[in-house]
Structure formats: C-alpha cells, structure tokens
Amino acid sequence: MEQWAGFGITFKTIFRKTFTQGYPQKGKEKVTMPRFHGRHQLNRWPDGLEKCVGCELCAWACPADAIYVEGADNTEDDRYSPGERFGHVYQINYLRCIFCGLCIEACPTRALTMTNEFKISDDTRLKMIYEKQDLLAPLLPGMEQPPHPRRLGDTEQAYFLGLPDTGTPDTRTGSTSGAAK
C-alpha cells in the first residue's frame, strides 16, 4: 500500500499549473526585493567619471574568483576617474559568480553595486563574461563620457562631496552624492 501513496502525490500535483508555464510571454514580471543581489553595475560620479579606482579589492574579496581587475594610472589628458588610478580592465565571469555580495562590501568607493536585474543567461560561455563597458552605468543627463577633467569642483574635497561651482550639493540622483550625513 505504501507504493501507491507516492503515486497519489504524483497524481495530485501533475495537473497543477506552475508559475513558469508560459514564461516569459504570459504573466506578470517577477518583482524582486530591494536588496536582491542581481547583476553588478559600475557606478559613475555626477559628472560622468567612473567611481572605480582600480584597487582590486573586489577581486580579492570574491570567494569564487569571478572578478578580474587591472588598474591603470590617470593622466591630466586622459582622466577616467577623479583619483590617481582607474579600472582599465574590469571583468566579471557570471559562470563563476555566486552573487554573495562580498565584492560590493569590499569596494571603498561604492563603485560596484548590484542591481535587481536577474535575467543574465546567454547561449555561449563567452557572452557570460561581462566586460567593463557592459557593467558601466549609463550616462545620465548632465554627465559627460570620459575621459575628461573633473567638473564638480576645483579641490578634491569639493569634488568628492559633490559640490559644483555653485556650492550647493548635487541633487540629480536624489542624494547628496556621498556627503557625510
């Protein structure tokens, strides 16, 4: 009689509709929680320069060895970040990534964050290695594509507090861009 109990469970659930039936054509998009760990993003300063300084701390913190960073020096003519260095090569191998978030905790400049995007599958292994241009945040209105000189202030303190020439905090993103609270 016990062997028929298993068949009973099978027949009870075999005709039940699953949430994946008809995906992605039918149904509502799955809503993720605000702190969901999805695809990574390399953020920018309000003038368009990259926040990544090429320190490689995210690569050191990654337990799956999924991140590769190669830093390079900025020059006055060729400036990609406001500091001395920038991330020249930045790669994340999503076949290795376990989405633990240790890389974003290790980042001292909040250059690396995780978005809520979870549809990152592809048909080849090569497409699963995201390069720097795939990870960079899009340019918002008022931002300029690097390389260019710093635009948010004459001094480093003014720049990193996000103070433009007017002396008021930059409010385009709804925050004070890193100012102490």
The pLDDT tens digits for 14-41 are 877 766 666 666 656 677 888 889 999 9
| DSSP 8-state class, residue 78 | S
- Map out the domains of the chain with their CATH numbers: 32-150 (3.30.70.3270)
pLDDT in tens, 47-71: 899 999 999 999 999 999 999 999 9
pLDDT of residue 21: 61
| Annotation: binding site for [4Fe-4S] cluster | 52, 55, 58, 62, 97, 100, 103, 107
Known binding-site residues equal 52, 55, 58, 62, 97, 100, 103, 107
Rounded to whole angstroms, the Cα distance separating 58 from 43 reads: 14
Q: Per the confidence metrics, is the pTM higher than 0.85?
A: no
Across 46-64, b (16+ Cβ under 10 Å) vs e yields bbbbbbbbbbbbbbebbee
End-to-end CA distance of the chain: 68
Residue type, 135: L
| pLDDT score for 173 | 56
